[in-house]
Amino acid sequence: MDTVLITGGTGHLGRDVVAALKSRYRVRVLARSRGQDPDVEWIKGDLATGAGVQDSVSGAQIVIHAATLSPAARRGYLLPTDFWRSPPQVDVDGTRRLLEEARKAGVAHFAYISIVGVDRSRIPYMLVKHAAEELVRAGGVPWSVLRATQFHWLADRMLGKASRMPLLAVPGALVTHPVDSRDFAAYVADRVQEGPGGDCETFGGPEVLELRDLVRQWQQARGRKFRVLNVPAPARLRRAARDMTAPNGRLGDTTWSDWLRTHQPE
């Protein structure tokens, strides 16, 4: 059985990837704090400092790099600073470190998890992800880049925070393409088994929704009745939102409303 190292294995997608791969590989996770799963080999480390990185790749044939640091995703809402800069320590510096150690250790496949539209966006977090993709392409280790659209958990977290306000301004005509991280994890697991695939087919959910529908379905599912003010969206913003959808790529089965029915708010 090959050993697969998963970074970010304690995160939303990472947990799903671990679950999808446990029966097929020896699964190892590099994490800042050890998880509980006894079927996983836990390596304590930190991509931002490099601690544990060398140990984590030693003897691994495959690396799935799903760790990330998005301050906006962590807090569940955007601040003006999110439009100026995004910390590069994990996504860029950490990717560089991990790649270097993977190359030295002779890793056969480095799979990088990314986001649809990073090459067309000017949002700092997306630029950081795109820079990491470019490192992977040039890193000297056979690679795959696997891009997904926006995960359901993040939309749920953001709407949960936004709903504390009495009134939410929504550029309702913007499109969004939410996806279940578990559906994507199954796709990642399959692609990893096929070996390095370069830039792989994108992955999205089964439907592209207008933002107003996403919010309406969330309100119904969560029973939250704040007022929604529909505001117009400039053409540039509408284009930017469309660039983050991928209706022509591979699609999962789980709709936003299915997901809301089966997941409690975090």
Report the interface residues with ligand NAP, using CB under 6 A. 7-8, 10-14, 31-33, 46-48, 66-69, 73, 90, 113, 115, 129, 148, 150-151, 154
Written as six digits, the tokens of 109 are 């496949």
Q: Which residues contact 223 (CB under 8 A, 6 or more apart)?
A: none
31 vs 200 by CB, closer to ligand NAP: 31
Total residues belonging to the chain: 266
Least separation, in Å, of the C-beta of 57 and ligand NAP? 13
Q: Looking at beta carbons only, is 167 or 263 nearer to ligand NAP?
A: 263
Q: Measured from the CB of residue 112, what is the shortest distance to ligand NAP in angstroms?
A: 8
Query: Structure tokens of 93?
Result: 């510096």
Least distance in Å: CB of 257 to ligand NAP? 18
Burial of residue 41 (CB within 10 Å: 0-12, 13-18, 19+) is middle
Q: Which is nearer to ligand NAP, 6 or 167 (CB)?
A: 6
Segments of 171-254 assigned E as strands: 175-176, 198-199, 203-204, 209-210, 227-230, 250-251
Q: How far apart are CA 165 and CA 145, in angstroms?
A: 38
> Taking the complex as a whole, how short is the minimal distance between the CB of residue 262 and ligand NAP, in angstroms?
18
Comparing CB distances to ligand NAP, the nearer of 145 and 232 is: 145
Question: Closest distance between ligand NAP and the C-beta of residue 176, in Å?
Answer: 10
70 residue type, one letter: S
Nearer to ligand NAP, 30 or 233 (CB): 30
Residue of closest CB approach to ligand NAP: 11
Q: Within its chain, how far is the Cα of 79 from the centroid?
A: 20
Q: State in angstroms the smallest separation of the CB of 150 from ligand NAP.
A: 4
Residue nearer to ligand NAP on the CB measure, 107 or 126 = 126
Instruction: List Cα–Cα distances, 55 to 4, 11, 22, in angstroms.
Output: 13, 20, 20
